[in-house]
Amino acid sequence: MEVHIQKCQECQSTDVCNMLVSEPGQPQTVYVKCASCGQLVARFLLSDYYHHGKGIESWLRSLGPAAFESGRDFHDEFSRVQTAALTGFEAACRRLEEQKQVEPP
């Protein structure tokens, strides 16, 4: 696993903010903006957006209508996504700490 902290190519700042853009019929787009100098750092297209803390309604909106055949399938998949998000986040944080310990400042 590789874990990277995004850095602005213009000013080298790691202080960034994400702007989530939703348009009907289009994949959600995240624009990463440098909070220090305002330059565009990166763009991501999302096919499965999960926002921890906003719950199942937010996730359903990202998938669009008719994403599942039954409510049970939908709930089971949401539980899987929620668990995977937490597990992946914890693994990424651990890996980042390991990288910081071996990399020079």
Section 29-49 average pLDDT = 91
pLDDT classification of 67: cutoffs 50, 70, 90: low
Under DSSP, the state recorded for 31 is E
- Domain for residue 10, yes or no? no
Question: Which tokens belong to 60?
Answer: 């359903």
Residues 14 and 20: their CA atoms lie apart, in Å, by 19
Please state whether 86 falls in left (phi above 0), alpha (psi between -120 and 50) or beta: alpha
Average pLDDT for 79-102: 89
Residue 88 lies in a domain: yes
* Residue 30 within a domain: yes
Domain annotation covers residue 40: yes
Does 53 fall in a domain? yes
Q: Which domain holds residue 54?
A: 16-102
The answer to whether residue 6 is domain-embedded is no
Residue 60, pLDDT > 90, answer: no
State how many domains the chain has: 1
Where residue 65 falls among pLDDT bands split at 50, 70, 90?
low
Q: Does a structural domain hold residue 3?
A: no
pLDDT above 90 as % of the chain: 32
What's the distance, Cα to Cα, between the start and end of the chain in Å? 20
Residue 73 to residue 79: CA distance in whole angstroms: 10
- Check: pTM over 0.75? Answer yes or no: no
